[in-house]
Every structure is written in C-alpha cells, then in structure tokens.
Structure 1
Amino acid sequence: MGRKGHGRYGKHSRRDRRKKKGGIISTVILIVAICVFAFSAFQLYKIFNGYHKGESEYDDLVKLAVTEDKGEQENGTDDQDGSRFSVDFDALRQINPDVVAWIRFDEPAVINYPVVQGSDNSEYLSKTFKGYDNTVGTIFVNAYNHADFNDRNTIIYGHYMYNGTMFNELEQYHEKSFWEKYPSFYIYTPDGNVATYQIYSVGVVKDTSEGYTYQFADDAAFASFLEATKASSLYDTGVEVGNDSQIVTLSTCTREGNDDRTIVHGVRVNVQPAGE
C-alpha cells in the first residue's frame, strides 16, 4: 500500500512539474512576443518620426526661401499652374552652402525641394538639407556633373519615400495619362533663372543603365544616349531631342527596392528670369 501511495504521489509530482515547466515556457514565449512587438513598434515609431521630421524641415525651407504668386501674368510666361515662383538662394546658402538649385513640379505634385551637390554621391543619402541624420536625405545632383546644369546630361537623385515625399511621385509618370497632364518640371538656379524641362522619356531601368551616362566622347555617343533613353521609355511622348539638347535625368528607387530605378528624362526647352 505504501508503495502504491508513493506511486500516486510521484505521478502527481511529475504532472505538476510538467505543468510548471509548460507555464514557464508559455511565460517566456509571451515575454519574447511582447519584446518583439515593443521593438517593432519602436522601429516603426523611429521610421515615421523620421518621415515627419524630414517633411517638417522641408516645409520650413519652402516657407523660408520661396515666394509664390498664383495670380496670372500679362506676358503669358507663367508655369503651367499659373504661378510666379522665386527662390531666395542667399537664405538657403546661410543654412547649407552646397545648395545649387531648387526643383519644382506643377501642383498638385509635392516635388518642391532644394537641390544640393555633395563631395560624392553618398553624402546626402541620409542627411537632410540642414545636416541632420535622416533617411529622407536630400535631393542631390550627381557629384561628377557641373553644378550649372549645362552638361549634356545632369543627373539628380532623390529617395522614393513611402509617405509620398521626395521623389516618390515620379512613379506616377509610369502612366502616360499623368505625363499628359504634367509634362514639365522646373529648375531654379542661383543666377536668378528658371529652366523648363519637358519630359521626353520615362522608364524603369537597372541602376547601370545607359540613361545614367553623363560624359560623352562625341556627338555620336550623345546621340546613342538619346536613342537609348527613348527606347527604354514606357511610352512614346513624341518630344524631340537632338545633339544640341541639354538633358536633366531624375532618378529614384522603385517600390520593390531592388536594383531597378524609375528614371525620368527632361529636355530643356526654355530659360527665363524666375518670378516673371
């Protein structure tokens, strides 16, 4: 009888130990899950807080440096959206002497940013115009182009941000209907001028594409570049380009985040004093 009683006690004891062990494992799993959730939530907070800080900084720069009058002009030289627009580059230089331009698309686009040129093409990938570390970075000109936009092809890079800022809206040019509504963009320079660029090609290409060529040995090499950019376009714009053309290429990542890029090529069609 004693042995039987001892057996029942041992059986209960093992069961209790298993329950206790199972409870500990469940508690550990719960704690790990809470930690993972908390870490993920913190990472999301950092991402969206960075987005917010970056967006706020660039909104402040617009307020500081941009003068815009949406009234109609008598000379008919308005931008497509009917506004006179000028940039105070002296104010911008006090914040960042690397500023070389301001890029703007017609409303309702939000592409309306200062453009810098760093010492290399990585400097402004994660640094804002004011010098803060932030994944939004800054819109920047290829470090190996001249800063006056007089090269045959000047490349401007910007991030594809998931909150719709920076160069995110270039993706909308994948649809020809969007290009038909907004076929141009504008680049304002410190000499007081604004250049209008008509988009002639929109493509999704590899980051090693010929569309990123910025130096040309001769006219034949440039003609080859122009043909390649037109051939890679998602649709035919009918816009003419030639050996006397000056191109600005806008580049951003795609939604997939691989080595594909959205690339928008514009040809300069007009230069005039800004704000007139």
Structure 2
Amino acid sequence: MIAGAALFAALLLFSGVMLCREIKDSQQSAQAFETLAKLVVDKPKLDIQLDGEASRPEDKPSADEPAPEITAAEKYAAIHEKNNDFVGWLRIEDTNINYPVMQSTDNPNFYLKHNFDKEYSNYGVPYVQENCELGVSDNTIIYGHHMDDGSMFADLCKYESEDFYREHKTIQFDTMDGFGKYEVVAVFKTVAYSNEGFPYFLFVKADKPEDFDDFIAKCKELALYDTGVTAEYGDKLITLSTCEYSRDNGRMVIVAKKTESAPEVGGDA
C-alpha cells in the first residue's frame, strides 16, 4: 500500500517535471521565432554610405519617385548571417505557420530536433529534405512537427476542411533567391513508412514528364477534395508534411505549385 502510494507520487512528480519542461520549451521556441521575425527587413535601407560619407538628402528618392523594392536576399540577410542553413521563410495566413525554413544537406533531419541556434529542441525548425535543390528540383519537400500547442506545422491539419482551403488557397514561401507564392494543388492524408502509404517524399525531380504527371495524378487520387488546380511538367512544387494522428504514422500533406515570384502585398514575416 505504502509502496504503491510512493510509486504513484513519484510518477506524478515525474509527469509534473516533464510538463513544466514542455511548457518551458514551448515558450522558448515561440520567443526565439519572434526574435528571428524581428530581423526580417521590410524596406531597403536608404541611408547608405557614399565614398565614406553619409548619404545626402538629394541622394534619396523624392516623394514622387516610387520606393525601391527590396530583394529577398536583403529581406532575410540578417537571418542568413546568423545561420547559413537558413534557406527561406514560410507563411500561411491565419495560421501559426510563419517560420524560417532550414536545410542541412550533410546532416539529414538535423532540424527535426534542433532549434535555429543548433541546440537540442523537441520543436525543431521546419526544414527542407536534404536531397532537394531549391529552384532546381521539381518538388521541394518541407517538414515540420505537429506540436500539441498548435505551433510548427500543426495548423496544416486545418486544410482538412475544404472551407478553410477556400479561404487560404495560397502559401508564401520565400527563398534567398526570390519571393514565391504557391497555389494549393492537393491536400491528402497518407501513412509513412508503410506499404500502404504513398511515398510522396521520394519524388524530388522527374526523369521524364510522365514522372511528374504520375505524381500529380496520385496526389489528386488521394485528395480530400477537388481544388480545381493542377500542375504540369515545368511547374515548381512544394510539399508540406507533418504528422497526422487519425492513424499510426499518419501524415498530412499539402502540395502546391509556384504561381508568382513577386512578394505578397503587405506580406510581412
């Protein structure tokens, strides 16, 4: 009786410690991403140095001149300087998905359990599959955790609702090479690491147009609803993937194609 009570108390204490640790990790993760978001530059700097001297008022554009446009490299330069594994920024309106995206080609899945500063973290950072080459691969696969607090890629599961999709048809994914808007092609669930699942993560580059067509056809076959949008060979895709808990090893997958290279109006990180 006493031994059982002691065991129960020990388990209760352990659970409390783990819960406190999880809450602390969640808070630290959220704060870290907020700090990174503040490093994003929305306007180009005008007070540049000219031959070692401060710029003069006449060197700046007048009120009648259009403001110079910022490049993606300028917008995210400070973040890239902190960690050159940074490859882009992903954002979906009305979700918690507003994060830097990393890639570690020599250490696959490193950011699954490491934060932006390369320290251990259960939250990790969204990251690109190691064999994807941004701007070159036909399909860029991006992974993120489905956290219980709704952070990271948990909100991808909102796309299970067609009504949510109808209000959120586009995804913003910027890289250091340029801004990108992507239109959702298909939303589906599958199982990872199983003969019953669709190995969407194996499709990175099509050897021939038929490979691309087959991938899109399978995505459409599994789709939870018809978006009315398709893609053809030559289009650039992103595939967002996270865990989905309706079955063992479940995955929620969003496939979208690039439609624009210009930034969204008012599209802040």
Q: Which TM-score band applies after superposition, normalised by the shorter structure?
A: 0.7 to 0.9
1:228-249 superposed Cα distances (whole Å, 9 cap, x missing partner): 1111110000013111221110
1:228-275 superposed Cα distances (whole Å, 9 cap, x missing partner): 111111000001311122111000011357321000000111112577
What is the TM-score when the length of structure 1 is the normalising length? Answer: 0.79
Moved over 6 A (4+): 84-87
Q: 1:105 aligns with which of 85, 89, 92?
A: 92
Q: Quick one: which amino acid aligns to residue 24 of structure 2?
A: N
Deviation of 1:207 after TM superposition, in Å, equals 2.1
Please tell me whether Structure 1 or Structure 2 has the larger radius of gyration of its CA atoms: 1
Q: Quick one: which amino acid aligns to residue 142 of structure 1?
A: Q
Q: 1:198 aligns with which of 183, 189, 205?
A: 183
Partner of 1:271: 261
Contact kept, 8 Å, 2:191 with 2:248, in 1: the verdict is: no
Q: 1:115 aligns with which of 101, 113, 124?
A: 101
1:248 aligns with 2:238: yes
Q: 1:207 to 1:141 in 2, by over 3 A?
A: same
Contact kept, 8 Å, 2:109 with 2:129, in 1: the verdict is: no
Contact kept, 8 Å, 2:237 with 2:258, in 1: the verdict is: yes
Q: 1:210 to 1:200 in 2, by over 3 A?
A: same
Q: 2:144 aligns with which of 150, 154, 158?
A: 158
CA distance in 2, matches of 1:185, 1:172: 14
Q: How does 1:47-126 map to 2 (within 5 A)?
A: 47-67=22-42, 88-106=75-93, 108-118=94-104, 119-126=106-113
Contact kept, 8 Å, 1:160 with 1:254, in 2: the verdict is: yes
Partner of 1:140: 127
Deviation of 1:29 after TM superposition, in Å, equals 2.3
Q: 1:174 aligns with which of 137, 153, 160?
A: 160
1:211 aligns with 2:196: no
Contact kept, 8 Å, 1:85 with 1:274, in 2: the verdict is: no
CA distance in 1, matches of 2:247, 2:99: 23
Deviation of 1:85 after TM superposition, in Å, equals 11
The alignment covers a number of residue pairs equal to: 233
1:106-162 superposed Cα distances (whole Å, 9 cap, x missing partner): 2x222111111012332111101111211000110110010x233111101111011
Deviation of 1:95 after TM superposition, in Å, equals 1.7
Contact kept, 8 Å, 1:67 with 1:85, in 2: the verdict is: no
Gaps of 5+ in 1: 1-25, 69-83
CA distance in 1, matches of 2:185, 2:89: 21
Partner of 1:236: 226
Partner of 1:28: 3
CA distance in 1, matches of 2:3, 2:41: 56
CA distance in 2, matches of 1:234, 1:256: 14
Partner of 1:21: none
Contact kept, 8 Å, 1:103 with 1:185, in 2: the verdict is: yes
